[in-house]
Every structure is written in structure tokens, then in C-alpha cells.
Amino acid sequence: MDEFIETLIARVRAARAGIEEAVAEHDGFAISRAVDELEEALRLARENGVDVPPAGAE
């Protein structure tokens, strides 16, 4: 796996973790930001043909 793919998958994982943390803290603004980040990371993965493991498969 090349560095770009690893970085992109790490970005998706971090965004997913950010969502979980924001939900646990009941922080609506942080949830919104984390969801935006996840959507952006998944869009980049899709556009570049990167298969991202499903949530929980880490």
C-alpha cells in the first residue's frame, strides 16, 4: 500500500473516531465538523479508487 492510500485510510479512521468522540460529548458542532471531514475523506477515496475498510474492520 502506498503512502497516499495509507494516509487517506488514516484520515477516514480519524474522522470516524472524531464522530464517536463528539457523539460521546454531545457536541453537535463537533459532530457536524467530523461528519464533513468523513464525507470529504470518503469522497477523495472514491475519486481515487481507494477501497476503505468498513467501520469496525480496523
- Cell numbers at residue 4, please? 497516499
- For the chain, percent of residues with pLDDT exceeding 70: 97
- Cell numbers at residue 27, please? 457536541
In this prediction, residue 55 has a pLDDT band, given cuts at 50, 70 and 90, of confident
Mark out the alpha helices in the chain (DSSP H runs): 3-24, 28-47
Task: Please count the CA atoms within 13 angstroms of the CA of 29 that sit on its side-chain side.
Answer: 0
Tell me the C-alpha distance between 14 and 40, whole Å. 12
CA-to-CA dists, residue 28 to 17, 20, 35, 44, 52, angstroms = 15, 12, 11, 24, 26
- The pTM assigned to this predicted structure is 0.88
| Domain spans, the chain | 3-47
* pLDDT score at 57: 74
pLDDT tens by residue, 10-37: 999 999 999 999 999 999 999 999 999 9
